[in-house]
């Protein structure tokens, strides 16, 4: 058995070595996707276009507008003179947000009363809108603090305030709240899944499509040896992908890796077994590479969306939360982010590792049985 398996493995690696385009596809697109994800995938919103309608024309209103400009998150695109101009800016997309400072704003502040501030936001991009509204809340809070400090200098004693709690934030594991520290570990799992599932499905289908699958099966090699010969190389390629993307994340994007490499290896191995099972399963439903491509696209997108990579699972409907339990990428992302940033080990991550092991075993078993049936 081992002699025939060795021959099968040599065949796969020789084919890969001779196919220079395949080598290019394995490395260059992967690196490009890591770079794109690393720089483009972010929850940070900068340079939000802002229209301002200042009907108060006071020092306080001008100070509030300067607070927005000073953050670097907003830039004023229009100092409007009327409400129709604000409406036009939002309708045309020239401004994403607008603030309206009504007349009497400074009088309300000087009188110790709550001064109303109208905020208009373009809700067509809900993510940007929610984040920008959070920025506005922080800016207004800082503006209020500055106003109190100016009105009641330290020499005059403690300033009157209704705020009874002093908030001091201290984020753990990501002090700077850097989005790349969140996204890059997720990219490791996502790109590895896409690569391994695609390679496994296409390699088997290609053998069937060009007619060499029948030639192989009339040889002394047994189905299980053929399956191992087809999957082991892609398992090793998957480990290489994990190592490559991890190296880029650590050395290029400076994402800290504080965990244990052995825990990372164990998690990656269990995850790749599940990915190989998915690839084999796709190959049993496909007769051509076009069919394999369509099924691959149909499968990978839901796995990505339901993994928690960008959209929190807790915010999904209950039925979708239950469906995510059969998604191996969900568990691998937890392992990756925990190993990268928290440095935890098997004592904490064993539920995720066990889940990936069970899913990998079940999917490989089903895929191998279906594949052997299709060969027969």
H/E element, 184: helix 179-210
The pLDDT, as a whole number, for residue 135 is: 85
Write down the number of H helices and E strands in the chain: 14, 4
Alpha carbons 198 and 371: distance in angstroms, whole number: 16
Q: What pLDDT is recorded for position 162?
A: 44
**What pLDDT does 17 receive?**
66
First to last CA, the chain: 20
Task: Please give the angle made by the CA atoms of 186, 187 and 190, to the nearest 5 degrees.
Answer: 90
- SS3 percent helix, strand, coil of the chain, rounded to 5, is 70, 5, 25
CA–CA distance, 113 with 245 (Å, rounded to integer): 55
Distance CA 239, CA 220 (A): 30
The CA-based diameter of the chain, rounded to the nearest angstrom, is 95
Q: Indicate the pTM of the whole model.
A: 0.76
Instruction: Please state the domain extents for the chain.
Output: 2-41+178-375, 48-156
Residue 200: how many CA atoms within 13 Å on its side-chain side? 38
What's the 3-state SS for 140-171? Answer: HHHHHHHHHHHHCCHHHCCCCCCCCCCCCCCC
Looking at residue 156, what is its pLDDT? 47
Per-residue pLDDT of the chain (376 residues), as tens digits, is 566 666 666 766 666 666 666 666 667 777 887 887 777 766 677 788 899 999 988 888 888 889 888 888 888 999 988 889 998 888 888 888 899 988 888 888 877 777 788 888 887 766 678 788 888 888 888 887 777 666 555 444 544 544 444 445 566 777 777 778 888 888 899 888 988 888 888 777 777 777 666 666 666 667 677 777 778 888 988 999 899 999 999 999 889 999 899 999 999 999 999 999 888 888 878 778 788 888 888 888 889 889 988 778 877 889 999 999 999 999 999 999 999 988 889 999 999 999 999 998 998 888 778 766 555 5
CA 319 to chain CA centroid, nearest Å: 22
* H-helix or E-strand spanning residue 99: strand 97-101
* DSSP reduced 3-state for 75: strand
From its phi and psi, is residue 47 left (phi > 0), alpha (psi between -120 and 50) or beta? left
- Give the CATH number of domain 48-156; options: 3.40.1710.10, 3.40.228.10, 3.30.390.10, 3.30.420.40: 3.40.1710.10
């Amino acid at each position: 058995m081992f002699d025939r398996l060795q021959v099968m493995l040599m065949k796969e690696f020789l084919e890969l070595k001779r196919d220079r385009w395949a080598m290019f596809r394995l490395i260059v697109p992967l690196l490009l996707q890591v770079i794109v994800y690393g720089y483009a995938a972010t929850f940070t919103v900068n340079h939000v276009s802002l229209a301002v309608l200042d009907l108060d024309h006071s020092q306080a209103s001008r100070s509030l507008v300067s607070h927005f400009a000073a953050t670097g998150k907003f830039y004023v695109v229009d100092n409007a003179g009327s409400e129709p101009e604000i409406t036009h800016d939002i309708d045309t997309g020239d401004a994403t947000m607008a603030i309206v400072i009504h007349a009497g704003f400074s009088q309300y502040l000087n009188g110790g009363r709550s001064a109303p501030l109208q905020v208009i936001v373009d809700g067509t991009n809900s993510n940007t809108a929610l984040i920008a509204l959070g920025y506005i809340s922080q800016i207004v809070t800082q503006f209020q603090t500055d106003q109190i400090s100016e009105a009641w200098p330290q020499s005059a004693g403690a300033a009157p305030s209704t705020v009874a709690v002093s908030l001091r934030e201290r984020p753990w594991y990501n002090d700077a709240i850097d989005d790349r520290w969140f996204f890059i570990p997720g990219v490791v799992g996502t790109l590895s899944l896409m690569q391994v599932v695609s390679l496994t499905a296409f390699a088997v289908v290609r053998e069937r499509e060009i007619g060499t699958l029948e030639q192989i099966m009339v040889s002394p090699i047994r189905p299980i040896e053929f399956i191992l010969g087809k999957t082991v190389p892609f398992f090793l390629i998957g480990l290489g992908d994990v190592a490559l993307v991890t190296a880029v994340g650590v050395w290029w994007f400076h994402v800290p890796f504080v965990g244990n490499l052995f825990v990372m290896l164990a998690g990656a191995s269990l995850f790749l077994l599940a990915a190989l099972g998915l690839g084999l399963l796709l190959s049993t439903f496909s007769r051509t590479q076009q069919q394999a491509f369509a099924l691959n696209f149909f499968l990978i997108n839901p796995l990505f969306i339901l993994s928690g990579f960008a959209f929190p699972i807790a915010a999904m409907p209950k039925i979708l939360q239950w469906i995510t339990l059969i998604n191996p990428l969900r568990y691998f992302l937890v392992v990756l982010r925990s190993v990268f940033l928290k440095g935890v080990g098997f004592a904490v991550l064993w539920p995720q590792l066990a889940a990936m092991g069970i899913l990998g075993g079940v999917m490989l078993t089903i895929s191998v049985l279906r594949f052997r049936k299709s060969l027969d």
